[in-house]
Amino acid sequence: MKILLWHDLEKVGKRGEIVEVRDGYARNYLFPRRLASKPTPTMYKEFELEKRRQAKLEAKLIADAKLIAEKVEQLTSVSIEVNTNEEGRLYGSVTPTMIAEVLKDQQLKVEPKTIEIAEPIKQVGTYEVTIDLHRDVKPKLKLWVLSSKTPASPGEKSDAPAAPEEKPAEPGA
């Protein structure tokens, strides 16, 4: 059966091509999922309309992504405070959701799934994360991970009172 492909399909063909496939594959899989249709003149017209709609939608998505990317580029860096131990290691790691919350405070709406972290952030320091807004628009953001604790000097005493020493229980008492 000859069909008109509406989407790129691996091992079948590219969008807009007319290809030959088995009847059952077309009727039971491709047609119900609107991945393909019969190549009639009305379907060509509908395919061209869909192609124009997709192009308009794609242009709008790119424009929105570029607008957000400009705002991200204006931010020199953002910082995030986390709980750490004495060596500066985090109790966990910095997640894309945490970064999205910080950006939300900066009036930027970015989905956590678009934030790409190269390696897990488990230590205090400076990192670079990529925000994948679109396949063509991927701004980079400098992230400062800071400890919510102030590092104690080796000679300083802790503010917490020392635990009272317990006396051993006397025998016979």
pLDDT of the chain, 173 residues: tens digit per residue: 999 998 999 999 998 899 999 999 999 999 999 999 999 999 889 889 988 999 999 999 999 999 989 988 888 789 999 988 888 898 889 999 999 999 999 888 899 999 999 999 999 999 999 999 988 899 999 999 998 876 555 545 444 444 445 555 555 54
Domain 77-147 is classified in which CATH homologous superfamily?
Ribosomal protein L9, C-terminal domain (3.10.430.100)
Half-sphere exposure in the Cβ direction for 44 (13 Å, CA) = 5
> How is the chain split into domains, by residue range?
2-71, 77-147
Break the chain down into helix, strand, coil percent, rounded to 5: 30, 25, 45
The token pair at 113 is 């799934």
State how far the Cα of 108 lies from the Cα of 86, in Å rounded to an integer.
Answer: 33
CA nearest neighbour of 47 among 10, 77, 13, 18 = 18
Instruction: Evaluate if pTM is beyond 0.85.
Output: no
Helix (H) or strand (E) holding 47: helix 41-74
- Is 3.40.5.10 the CATH classification of the domain at 2-71? yes
Q: How many helices (H) and strands (E) does the chain have?
A: 3, 9
